[in-house]
C-alpha cells in the first residue's frame, strides 16, 4: 500500500467510513470514540454471493464460546459491570441542546433553534451501556476489546433477513441452547457497508474507480469475496490484518494479543 491508494497496512491509521447500523438502520461512523480499547473488525464482505462467510462468522462465535478461557476475553481485561457505573452514564444522551432560557444564554441560539415535535428528539447511545432486548444472549461489554462485524449487503438482502438476523436476535429456545453468552454476535455492533461515496483516491488511484459502493471494505483494501479481520489499536492504528475470516484468522488475532499483552 502506498500513500494516496486504498488499503490499511499494519501501522497505518484506519480510514473513516459511514456504515448502516443493523440494529436500527442508522448511518454511523465505523470508527468508535476513543476509550482505550482495541477494536476487532470482522469484515465479511458479500454474504449474499458468498453465504459461507456467515458460516465463518458462526465458527468464530462457537470457537470463542467454547474456549476454556474465553479466548482473549477471558485471558485479558475484564467484563464491564454496567450496574457499577453512575446512572447518568448508563442512559442515552440528548443530542439536541437545551435551548431554554434557564440553560442557554446565547440569544442567537434561542431565536433560531428549531422546534422538534414530541417523540422526535434525537439521542446518542453508548450501546455498551444501554441494555439490549437480547441482553440475556449477550456477554457484557469488555474493558479491553470490542468486536464490530460488517457486510457489504443492504439490510433488505435475504441472507441478512433470513440468516444473519436470527443469529443476532435468537428465539428463546435458540438462546437457551447456547448457555455461554456471545461476544461476537452483538446486534448493535453489526453494520452494513452499503452507503456509496465518491472515491477519495479518484485522482491518486483512478484505477480504484470513481465511486466506492462499499467504502469501508474498499478504503481498507478488503476483498469482498474473501473478507478480513482487522485489529485497530486504541490509538486508531492497524495492529493486524488477516486474509480471510474464520477460526484460523481468529487464532491470528489471539497470537497478536498474546505477543503484546500480559
CATH classification at residue 194 = 3.40.30.20
Cα 50 to Cα 4, 53, 76, 114, 243: the distances in Å are 30, 6, 33, 46, 15
Q: Is the pLDDT of residue 104 over 50?
A: no
Q: Is the pLDDT of residue 127 over 80?
A: no
Looking at the DSSP bridge assignments, the partners of residue 232 are 39, 238
Are 149 and 100 within one domain? no
Are 188 and 143 within one domain? yes
Are 136 and 195 within one domain? yes
Evaluate whether residue 234 is within a structural domain. yes
Are 237 and 177 within one domain? yes
pLDDT value at position 152? Answer: 98
| Percent of the chain predicted with pLDDT > 90 | 64
pLDDT value at position 34? Answer: 84
pLDDT digits (tens, 9 = 90+) for 193-236: 999 999 999 999 999 999 999 999 999 999 999 999 999 999 99
User: Domain range holding 73?
Assistant: 18-80+132-260
Say if strands 38-45 and 211-212 run parallel, antiparallel, or are unpaired. unpaired
**Looking at 112, 127, 142, which one is the last position of a domain?**
127
Are 98 and 115 within one domain? yes
Mean pLDDT throughout 167-176?
Answer: 86
Are 72 and 165 within one domain? yes
Evaluate whether residue 226 is within a structural domain. yes
Which strand (E) or helix (H) includes residue 46?
A: none
Are 120 and 146 within one domain? no
Are 136 and 162 within one domain? yes
Are 150 and 180 within one domain? yes
Are 91 and 219 within one domain? no
Evaluate whether residue 33 is within a structural domain. yes
CA-based nearest residue to 90, from 34, 128, 58, 53: 128
pLDDT value at position 262? Answer: 84
Evaluate whether residue 55 is within a structural domain. yes
Phi-psi category of 210—alpha, beta or left, where left has phi over 0 and alpha has psi -120 to 50?
A: alpha
Domain count, the chain: 2
Instruction: Output DSSP code: residue 128.
Output: T
Mean pLDDT of the chain: 86
Backbone angles phi, psi at 202, to 5 degrees: -65, -25
Amino acid at each position: 500500500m502506498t500513500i494516496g491508494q486504498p488499503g490499511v497496512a499494519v501501522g497505518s491509521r484506519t480510514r473513516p467510513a459511514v456504515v448502516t447500523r443493523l440494529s436500527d438502520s442508522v448511518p454511523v461512523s465505523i470508527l468508535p470514540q476513543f476509550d482505550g480499547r482495541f477494536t476487532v473488525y470482522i469484515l465479511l464482505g458479500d454474504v449474499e454471493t458468498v453465504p459461507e462467510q456467515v458460516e465463518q462468522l458462526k465458527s468464530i462465535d462457537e470457537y470463542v464460546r467454547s474456549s476454556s478461557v474465553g479466548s482473549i476475553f477471558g485471558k485479558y481485561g475484564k467484563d464491564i459491570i454496567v450496574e457499577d457505573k453512575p446512572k447518568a452514564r448508563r442512559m442515552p444522551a440528548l443530542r439536541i441542546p437545551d435551548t431554554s432560557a434557564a440553560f442557554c444564554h446565547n440569544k442567537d441560539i434561542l431565536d433560531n433553534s428549531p422546534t422538534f415535535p414530541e417523540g422526535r428528539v434525537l439521542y446518542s447511545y453508548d450501546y455498551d451501556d444501554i441494555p439490549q432486548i437480547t441482553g440475556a444472549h449477550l456477554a457484557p461489554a469488555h474493558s479491553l476489546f470490542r468486536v464490530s462485524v460488517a457486510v457489504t449487503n443492504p439490510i433488505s438482502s435475504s441472507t441478512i433477513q433470513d440468516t444473519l438476523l436470527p443469529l443476532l436476535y435468537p428465539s428463546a429456545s435458540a438462546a437457551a441452547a447456547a448457555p455461554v453468552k456471545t461476544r461476537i454476535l452483538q446486534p448493535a455492533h453489526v453494520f452494513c457497508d452499503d452507503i456509496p461515496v465518491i472515491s477519495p483516491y479518484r485522482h491518486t488511484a483512478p484505477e480504484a474507480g470513481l465511486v466506492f459502493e462499499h467504502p469501508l471494505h474498499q478504503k481498507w483494501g478488503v476483498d469482498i469475496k474473501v473478507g478480513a479481520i482487522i485489529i485497530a489499536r486504541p490509538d486508531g492504528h492497524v495492529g493486524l490484518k488477516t486474509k480471510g475470516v474464520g477460526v484460523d484468522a481468529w487464532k491470528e488475532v489471539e497470537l497478536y494479543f498474546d505477543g503484546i499483552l500480559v
